[in-house]
Structure 1
């Protein structure tokens, strides 16, 4: 995986479809031969894609999922029926992508190279439905070369303003562009201006629209260890489903996945319920116990995601958490720190060994610790609620360390 890691998958952003479209033409890839669903939104895309894949698999549909970023290995980004692709197969097609890019001087970005790799794997893998997480925005994202028949927009908030615009309306227009003619469209609860933009796009494209809180009725409750919830659609009712997480966003993501699945195939109640409960939410509102402490690990890496997570913590627990954040320079880290300070008992910023990671240089007045110091501190805590968040790196590091110590 070193060759892939060296290409800095999540950096060097350069939006546009023409480079990838040319590569697809050169390789004679047929993107029309399979059903595809694009999952866009500010947060919750990856989880929603995983829920949808698992539900479809439970109904004997073979799925191919493309998601990003990864927690442990690039193989996690391409899932064949829920299992990470074999490393050898991934490298084979990734090297072909590099060869085509270099020979024809296409100038593909690292993300476009990996997306081209996914499309090559799709060309050579038997499956029924492809589920692709949009990388950034929608209109000019590499995944939008797909002639998708389904579109999910999970949430819309301010993020990546440098590329998508400085208002919710501008960002909504970028994300709405994944909706194509006669699409099946499912959305989360969006700001009113964003909802109206999505609705207008659905009208223009003669697309079917289901919205959380309107056509999708969701009721849920938290019992200290997870959520029990009911989903009611026009053609399908699901009762007493369960997710072990403290982040209610994932319950909403599950509802979106159920709604989209119901538009694709007839659903069986028990198969759907079992599929939802079987998904391992690694680092996604994950609840662990460590030295009598309740530990929550979440990949919330922007202000939009962190605000919802912290609101859930305040709503569903009776104590202020001790928070460890490892943040990214290209996010609204100042707002994330302000949000955390409102909710926390103590706040520690954790330095990470990545170029994107926020350092003491940018925020010298904060309370900084290294990863090793973080887990030494953990030994002192008793009967506390401890949150690790701010980046995928923080989630991975916390999981690795704490699971080893159990």
Structure 2
């Protein structure tokens, strides 16, 4: 295994790849890792406001109930290990390094240049496969449809409040932004959305969920049960 400094230098080097919206690279690496997540229920959260808070609260409630959990969120405040929390505590430097090394080896074998976000997300998936928690909570980085976290086989999708944001990437149309975020819906899995005072909000979400199957991720169309809460 590479040294701690070598692993961190490689991770730091991924920042040069900037931000990349797209699933091809992440899904290619994730598929090559043959990760077993059969014992873990995955919850994927997207939205403009409150998604980080919701993810943290869910993880805290799970821990209080003695339900093992891993939380992947971004950005980190003090150190990068904060992005992957096991039962509320940042993963250790050793666990983090081991996971990053697994991702590095796979990416170099496939000659794929990952972004920093993609790399840390994949590291979270590696750690989850080792820890085998009851729950994995994923906070979307940006948007949803093309965010690396969309590659995870989530069992439940949750949408918090949605507003105009990152219009340079997601567009200036609120309905386009809603569709981008609602695309975290998974075929055959439930979606819970915060009700919004936006005309045709429910219909927009339902229509997007009905067409959420992503061929790139080998998904097939299935009915999505959408629930809306105040």
What TM-score does the superposition give when structure 2 sets the normalisation length?
Answer: 0.83
Q: 1:165 to 1:56 in 2, by over 3 A?
A: same
**Matched residue, 2:204:** 197
**Matched residue, 1:385:** none
**Alpha-carbon deviations, 1:107-159, whole Å to 9, x = none?**
21111111111111111113101100011111111111112111111121112
Distance 2:189 2:55 in 1: 17
- Aligned partners of 2:183 and 2:209 also within 8 Å: no
**Matched residue, 1:160:** 166
Distance 2:61 2:84 in 1: 17
Q: 1:210 to 1:67 in 2, by over 3 A?
A: same
**Matched residue, 1:20:** 26
Residue pairs, 1:304-315, within 5 angstroms: none
- Report deviation, 1:163: 2.3
Q: Is 2:215 the partner of 1:208?
A: no
**Matched residue, 2:69:** 63
Q: 1:183 to 1:25 in 2, by over 3 A?
A: closer
> Which has a greater percent of strand?
1
- Report deviation, 1:168: 0.7
Distance 1:47 1:84 in 2: 16
**Matched residue, 1:141:** 147
Q: Is 2:118 the partner of 1:112?
A: yes
Distance 1:156 1:142 in 2: 19
Distance 1:90 1:139 in 2: 27
SS in 2 for 1:124: helix
List gaps (5 residues or longer) in structure 1. 214-406
Backbone CA RMSD of aligned residues: 2.3
**Matched residue, 2:128:** 122
Q: 1:172 to 1:96 in 2, by over 3 A?
A: same
Q: Alignment length, in residue pairs? A: 213
Distance 2:15 2:47 in 1: 20
Q: 1:33 to 1:9 in 2, by over 3 A?
A: farther
SS in 1 for 2:9: helix
- Which of 24, 27, 30 is residue 36 of structure 2 equivalent to? 30
- Aligned partners of 2:70 and 2:87 also within 8 Å: yes
Distance 1:154 1:124 in 2: 30
List gaps (5 residues or longer) in structure 2. 212-221
- Aligned partners of 2:182 and 2:205 also within 8 Å: yes
Q: Which runs of at least 4 in structure 1 moved beyond 6 Å after TM superposition?
A: none
